[in-house]
Amino acid sequence: MKKHNIQFRLNGEKIAIEVEPNDVLLDVLRGRLGIKSPKVGCDRGDCGTCTVLLDGKTIRSCLALAVEADGAELVTLEGANSSRKWTQKLQKKFHEKNAFQCGFCAPGVILSATELLETNPKPSEHEIKEAIAGNLCRCTGYEPIVEAIAETVKGK
């Protein structure tokens, strides 16, 4: 396989890296770049634990080839925390409301909620549920998560 030299921005930092055509973005982020917030869950796009922002939109990093990130702007929870308006507010509210237990889904949920609030700062409960429908949580039963997102918006 012919290797590819690619460049992208990761949490604001310029990255230049050589990847194989069959390298998966999630594996490169975790295994080679030390970014551990995206998790390996179902590894087939169903669970949302590998969520990252690519050019401002949530994607499944388990369903992208690393080489596709060439020229892109990638943001993970590690960077969103300081660069996105809503992320840290969400994190604080999740902490306060005990909106996660094991924490495995939390980075994906918070990035999905970040994307939602950036486009729709006054979401209905249904819109919140729809926005996180692709992020599976096996601990909380979702209610504290939905409440935490709703209360983040209200600024309580």
Partner 1 sequence: MPITAEFEYVKPKDMDEALRVFSLYKDKARALAGGTDLIVHLKEGLAKPEVVVDLKALKELSGFGLKGSALRIGALATFAELIASPLIKTKFPVLWEASQTVASVGVRNRATVAGNICSAVPSADSAPALALYEAEVLVRGRNGERRIPIGGWFTGPKKTALLPDEIVTCVELKLPAKKHGGCYMKLARYEGEDLAQGGVAVLALADNTYRVAVCALGPVPGRCPKTEAVLNGNKLSDKVLAQAKEAILKEISPIGDIRSSKEYRLHMAQIMLERSLGHAVTRLFGKGPAYGTENIA
Site for partner 1 in 75-94 (CB under 8 A): none
Per-residue b or e along 12-32, where b marks 16 or more CB atoms closer than 10 Å to that residue's CB: eeebebebeeebbbbbbbbee
Choosing from 68, 73, 78, 147, the residue that interacts with partner 1 (CB under 8 A) is 68
Element containing residue 13 per DSSP (H, E): strand 13-19
Choosing from 10, 35, 37, 58, the residue that interacts with partner 1 (CB under 8 A) is 58
Tokens of 133: 């429908």
- Pick between residue 102 and residue 133 the one whose CB is nearest to partner 1: 133
Site for partner 1 in 12-41 (CB under 8 A): 21-24, 27, 40
Q: Among the candidate windows 82-90, 98-106, 110-118, 145-153, which touches partner 1 by CB under 8 A?
A: 110-118
Cα dist. 104→37, 40, 41, 47, 101 in Å?
9, 9, 9, 11, 8
Residue type, 152: T
Residues forming contacts to partner 1 in the complex (CB under 8 A) are: 1-2, 4, 21-24, 27, 40, 43-46, 48, 51, 57-60, 62-65, 67-68, 108, 112, 115-116, 126, 129-131, 133-135
